[in-house]
Structure 1
Amino acid sequence: MIKHHIKMRADKNIQFRLMNTLIKERLFAQGTKITESPQQLEIQYHCHVLYMTVIRKSSFQRFEFTQDIIYQCGNHKNSIMSVEQLIDILRDSFSIKISTKLSKELIHSRDCLIESYKHFEHRHDVITQSMTFARLPEALNFFTWLQHLADNGVTQDLMYSESLVTEGLALHPLEKMKLPMSIEAVKKYTAEFEKTIHLPIMLVHQDKIKTATINNDSQFILNQVIPQYRSKLKRYIEPLGLKLDRYRVMIVHPWQYKHVIAKYFESWVSESWLLPTPLTIEAKATESFKTLDLIHQPYQVEVSVDVQDIHSIRRDCFITMEDTPKITQILQHIFKDDSDLEVTCKPFVSHVKSDVEHSSQLACSVNQKPAIFEPGSTIASSSLVNTNPVDQHTVIDSYLEWLGNAVTQESVIHFISSYSDTLLTPLINAIQDYGVALDASMQNIIVHLGNDYQMKFIFRDINGISIHMPTLCQQFSDLRLTHHDIYSASIEEVVANLQRTVIQYHLAELVHHFTQYEGITEHGLYGIVQQVIYTAIDDTRPHADILKKVFFGAKVKDHSSFQQYLYPELAREKCIEFDNPLESEV
């Protein structure tokens, strides 16, 4: 039985996300009038009006709403009580083209969020009971609890934090959507539910697979990741009259194994090009549920899952990832002298040789498991603005309290100063020296929080990287990338990509969170970020003018990510502009 308050909270959340996205991305029909006041937003289309109660508004058109959305037509006025009702009103009265498919996706996202909230409450209850049993103080700080778990070998701090990103991307109404997975499958395979996942091991004939590695070892998974499985695989394959050295290991997702591989690769199995085995390896889902953390192994694997989620709509696929081992080596060189920022090594990628659609359905890459062995806690950056089930505070607030500080103007300023300086300075150096911009969104970064505001960052993945090839080739003259067009961009595009990910999709989240507290303002916090960037840019090195133009200009740009769901027939995303909170005359 779903508790009523949980269902209503999740439903309201998706309603508010949908409305905020339509406003932010300017997706209302032509002729719609939007009127803002400090406490209310009024959206009018002909005789139809929606009223929304506003708690506060942040940069980049981010609203925090409360109470019911009110719909009025003529003298008739009523509260909107569900996502389904809001969809009907937007479709019928506001000419928003919400298809049946999109309706199902929004409802599925809401239902997944309900399950996430239910599980979070259950975790809080279990932790409270265990504290009572262990005679631990009820007011135990979250970071103290994390260290308690790690010291007792119960779990790693990073993997625990992966499960805390209950909200996901705070503004995207489809963040929780995982169709065509059932709700039960979502509960088995996503990080919030902390389940151990058994990944099937398959064998692909060497003539049917393409691999790329940093050490030219096409048997990288067998030799480096699961060498303990060699004898078992050999015993399995030899009675079939086959030789293990002619096959390559492919780790697959159990949902993909059950629902997709049998459908697309039945003939491969019958011809022994693809061999199922009875062996599995244990893993846990990370925030990106297609990346799985291998238990008791120093690796993570990224696997194909033919599930629609917002993170799947990206410019890269496994077929174009054959350059990534080479690029990660370059990035490790770029940041080798920076002790506070590193990029996870991706030593191996593979996909089967088939048509484009099927190749991407059976693919796997290996990442070095992120780890920092220093005092403090290593956590997913996205978890910082999510509530934890221990002290029921936002994770970042718990960190400040763990340091012995309350959430005050002084402690927040100190945190934002340290955080932005440690993160931004090496990223700007990388653009000036190498023409490279990493995806610095919260979802792609792991942060280590130590004593006295000490911080280190690890970038999970390079899929969102953009490169100004002329600048990079000045440093690496013999560089050859098979899919250089995927990564290549003008220097202005490179800088804009960094601005969008690190400011709009990362630091803006922290600023939005902290400005709910008295005495803490956007102007003050963005002023700190502005000064960090200004100090980091070296006028004597390349691209200084472009960096200043993009970071300090009057307007900044973003892509309309929700437009493709409303209008899938459109080939290109719409570009939207916002006032820049970092605008400065420099």
Structure 2
Amino acid sequence: MTILSSHQPFQIMQTDMRKIIQEKLPISQKRILHKLVQAIVREEVLDYTWGKSTNDGKSLYIKPSHNIIIKVPIQHTYSLGQMDIEDPIIIEKENTVHPIDTPAQFIEELIGTRSSESGNLNQLKIELENSVINDALALTAAKLRQGGNISESTLDYLQKEQSSNASFSPLVFLEQWVIEGHTLHPCSKTRLGLSENEVMVYAPEWGSKVDIIPLAIHKSISSFSKITGGSSMTDVLLKDHRYLEEAFKENITRLHLEPEEYDIIPVHPWQYEHTVKKHYRTELKQKLLIPIDTTIPYQPLISFRSLAPNNRMQHHIKTALNVQMTSAKRIVSPTSVWNGPVISDLLNTISKHDLEINNSINFLSESSGGHYQSNRKEASLNLEKNLSALIRENPEKNLTNEEIAVPGAALINTSPVTGKVLIVELIEEWSMRKGISKESAAADFIQEYASTLIPGLINLIVKYGISLEAHLQNALIIFENGLPSKLSIRDNGGIRILEERSSAFIKKGKISNETNLLTSEPLDLYKMFSHAVIHNHLGEIIVRIARELKVSEALQWRQVSDVIQFTLDDLKTRMLHKEHADHFEQELFSTRTYLKSLIKMRLSDAITENMYVSAPNPLIQGGKENIIESL
């Protein structure tokens, strides 16, 4: 059997490709419509009531206005409010009844009832339609790349591949097979600005390779940052890619200029073609920007604009891309370029100081960055944010051949090796190996997983007032011999820092707060943990296990609750941390959790100001209370 990996291109006739895409479109319309309905209900965007359906099941009745009712048949509901939606979704309006088949139809029905938001709703409709198309493209890519299933497990396959091929990256392999994308956002596949062909060229699910353009930038129009004692972005790139130095110097000296007066910013080829050539013409003509006559091969990861090299000893890069994905354009702000290394310094200092955190979490440093900086302005584009990049530590650099870095998002996606959802495959293996039921295996596995994910994050919050955005896309779980063993975290952009608690480890004013990273409210730390860890991470994994294996959610949440309680009890034995641990415990085991309201944020254009709604707390409902004690 052959699995088409990231390194193996495939050929197919355009007519056949178009046929597959058209076959996938109705599936994608339903997938995105269901995500939209779930988001609207869970985020309380519209009024709704529950009732019984004709088949003795449950139905949701959404009421956009007094004379419109949208009926949504529900097969099953889960602890955090997720729903298994059935078809058809029906709208009753002006004595007519008809089905809603697409997210665009759903939004069209809302526009007339919410005229004050019609502009934002129209824009959301465009984004949803784009998400549908790209979801269909992703499903097409998965079909075309899939070979046949083999007998060995996914982790065994990845371990053998990396042992026999030094350039093979299990992380890249897994990330490029993540088809589902963001689990909570209906615009999970929105890529406004890219054509369908460009998606097939650059998107990770197509097993793409991207030839990054090293762009020489004059020091007079640039600003760079780095971690304390670290190397600049230019030096990192030149060291990682030895051939680049000769090309860099040759290109500069050929123009009778001095290489010492330039640095290098890595630019995504789409960004260079569509943004740099158009909006930085003045700098290109003046030789303040000089494209180097070579490229650097990288492979796109889940986030599209973050890329991995062909060598696990080399660094990852995060590039600017003037393309809207989910709710925002994926540029890299000067604030992020500055804060990335500063926050990495802070986390590394804490890790060196605190053995418990060091043993639990590996912080993937954003070691250096750079961006365009000039007094020149352009009305249609922020020049500083669109010519910028960050260098990130490679999460596979220090792993042994027995260790595999698994992105959380890969666990709820189908493995191309076995054709099974990866988390289901792992639990079934556990069940067979231990000779126990799948329900017991699921509970055991979640206990091990939560013990890897949670303690370090809670220690960081309680001791230092730092809450990481450890959702499925940012959290990498290191597996060893089939078991989770350590957590790696990437991306400092969504972090929340309580200044008073972390002040001993960082100078006041060092962190820029232009993107609202700093807070004076301890509740903000819990809100971040609640959305990222309880809802987006564990909530989505547990729902997938419950749905696929038909096992109890409550038993799994009991394991999570026990891990949290054990971690807090340990912290409470130390007087220095008892008060903060008590406070965090009150929030964790209160009657509610917090879910980020992504649709409300989109409709209000609140991109950096988080908005939350209350949601049930499974740590109580399925954890500390009302739980069956034995299997």
TM-score w.r.t. the length of structure 1 is 0.90
- Paired residue for 2:421? 394
Q: Is residue 417–residue 529 contact of structure 1 (8 Å, CA) maintained in 2? A: yes
> Secondary structure of 1:534's match?
helix
More moved, 160-169 vs 290-299:
290-299
Q: Look up the equivalent residue of 1:86 and give its one-letter code.
A: F
More moved, 346-355 vs 169-178:
346-355
> Secondary structure of 2:292's match?
strand
* CA displacement, residues 245-295 of structure 1 (integer Å, 9 cap, x when unaligned): 110011101111011112221111111211122211000001111111122
Return the alpha-carbon distance in structure 2 between the equivalents of residues 87 and 492 of structure 1: 34
- Paired residue for 1:302? 318
Q: Is residue 556–residue 580 contact of structure 1 (8 Å, CA) maintained in 2? A: yes
More moved, 158-167 vs 65-74:
65-74
Q: Is residue 318–residue 349 contact of structure 1 (8 Å, CA) maintained in 2? A: no
Return the alpha-carbon distance in structure 2 between the equivalents of residues 507 and 453 of structure 1: 16
Counterparts of 1:265-304 in structure 2, within 5 Å, are 265-296=280-311, 298-304=314-320
Cα distance, 1:315–1:552 mapped onto 2, change above 3 Å: farther
Structure 1 position 167 matched with structure 2 position 164: no
Q: Look up the equivalent residue of 1:106 and give its one-letter code.
A: L
Return the alpha-carbon distance in structure 1 between the equivalents of residues 547 and 294 of structure 2: 51
Return the alpha-carbon distance in structure 2 between the equivalents of residues 454 and 565 of structure 1: 35
Return the alpha-carbon distance in structure 2 between the equivalents of residues 76 and 442 of structure 1: 42
- Paired residue for 2:39? 21
* CA displacement, residues 395-449 of structure 1 (integer Å, 9 cap, x when unaligned): 1112233444587111111111111112111111122222212111111011122
More moved, 299-308 vs 345-354:
345-354
- Paired residue for 1:122? 144
Cα distance, 1:141–1:366 mapped onto 2, change above 3 Å: same
Q: Is residue 121–residue 389 contact of structure 1 (8 Å, CA) maintained in 2? A: no
- Paired residue for 2:27? 9
Cα distance, 1:314–1:59 mapped onto 2, change above 3 Å: farther
- Paired residue for 2:545? 514
Return the alpha-carbon distance in structure 1 between the equivalents of residues 298 and 161 of structure 2: 19
Structure 1 position 183 matched with structure 2 position 196: yes
Return the alpha-carbon distance in structure 2 between the equivalents of residues 547 and 42 of structure 1: 36
Determine which of 204, 214, 235 is the counterpart of 1:220.
Answer: 235
Structure 1 position 483 matched with structure 2 position 512: yes
Return the alpha-carbon distance in structure 2 between the equivalents of residues 281 and 585 of structure 1: 52
- Paired residue for 2:456? 426
Return the alpha-carbon distance in structure 2 between the equivalents of residues 571 and 419 of structure 1: 30
- Paired residue for 1:52? 72
Structure 1 position 331 matched with structure 2 position 347: yes
Counterparts of 1:444-483 in structure 2, within 5 Å, are 444-451=474-481, 453-474=483-504, 476=505, 478=507, 481-483=510-512
Query: How far 1:514 moved relative to its partner?
Result: 1.8
- Paired residue for 2:123? 101
* CA displacement, residues 446-465 of structure 1 (integer Å, 9 cap, x when unaligned): 11222263422110121111
Query: How far 1:571 moved relative to its partner?
Result: 9.6
Please report the RMSD computed on the Cα atoms of aligned residues, expressed in angstroms: 2.7
Q: Look up the equivalent residue of 2:492 and give its one-letter code.
A: I
More moved, 295-304 vs 307-316:
307-316
Q: Is residue 163–residue 401 contact of structure 2 (8 Å, CA) maintained in 1? A: no
Return the alpha-carbon distance in structure 2 between the equivalents of residues 330 and 168 of structure 1: 30
> Secondary structure of 1:562's match?
helix
Return the alpha-carbon distance in structure 2 between the equivalents of residues 278 and 36 of structure 1: 65
Cα distance, 1:319–1:79 mapped onto 2, change above 3 Å: same
- Paired residue for 1:534? 565
> Secondary structure of 2:359's match?
coil
Return the alpha-carbon distance in structure 2 between the equivalents of residues 479 and 93 of structure 1: 48
Determine which of 132, 152, 156 is the counterpart of 1:144.
Answer: 156
Cα distance, 1:580–1:79 mapped onto 2, change above 3 Å: same
More moved, 307-316 vs 441-450:
307-316
- Paired residue for 2:367? 347
Counterparts of 1:363-374 in structure 2, within 5 Å, are 363-371=388-396, 372-374=399-401
Structure 1 position 262 matched with structure 2 position 273: no
- Paired residue for 2:255? 240
More moved, 37-46 vs 504-513:
37-46
Return the alpha-carbon distance in structure 1 between the equivalents of residues 100 and 513 of structure 2: 49
Return the alpha-carbon distance in structure 1 between the equivalents of residues 329 and 267 of structure 2: 20
Query: How far 1:582 moved relative to its partner?
Result: 1.9
* CA displacement, residues 289-327 of structure 1 (integer Å, 9 cap, x when unaligned): 111112225111111111111274799833343132232
> Secondary structure of 2:172's match?
helix
> Secondary structure of 2:386's match?
coil
Cα distance, 1:471–1:63 mapped onto 2, change above 3 Å: same
Cα distance, 1:234–1:91 mapped onto 2, change above 3 Å: same
Query: How far 1:367 moved relative to its partner?
Result: 0.7
Q: Specify every segment of 5 or more residues in structure 2 that has no aligned partner in the other structure, as ranges.
A: 1-17, 626-631
Counterparts of 1:547-562 in structure 2, within 5 Å, are 547-562=584-599
Q: Is residue 198–residue 280 contact of structure 1 (8 Å, CA) maintained in 2? A: yes
Determine which of 359, 370, 383 is the counterpart of 1:358.
Answer: 383
Q: Is residue 321–residue 331 contact of structure 2 (8 Å, CA) maintained in 1? A: no
* CA displacement, residues 136-188 of structure 1 (integer Å, 9 cap, x when unaligned): xx444333333343344273211111012211112311110010111111121
TM-score w.r.t. the length of structure 2 is 0.84
- Paired residue for 1:230? 245
Q: Specify every segment of 5 or more residues in structure 1 that has no aligned partner in the other structure, as ranges.
A: 132-137
Percentage identity across paired residues of the two chains: 21
- Paired residue for 2:170? 157
Query: How far 1:11 moved relative to its partner?
Result: 0.9
Q: Is residue 496–residue 550 contact of structure 1 (8 Å, CA) maintained in 2? A: no
Query: How far 1:83 moved relative to its partner?
Result: 3.5
* CA displacement, residues 34-80 of structure 1 (integer Å, 9 cap, x when unaligned): 22445322224433222222121123322121222122336533323
Q: Look up the equivalent residue of 1:2 and give its one-letter code.
A: K
Query: How far 1:238 moved relative to its partner?
Result: 0.9
Return the alpha-carbon distance in structure 2 between the equivalents of residues 519 and 184 of structure 1: 40
Return the alpha-carbon distance in structure 1 between the equivalents of residues 183 and 60 of structure 2: 19
- Paired residue for 2:468? 438
> Secondary structure of 1:501's match?
helix
More moved, 49-58 vs 86-95:
86-95
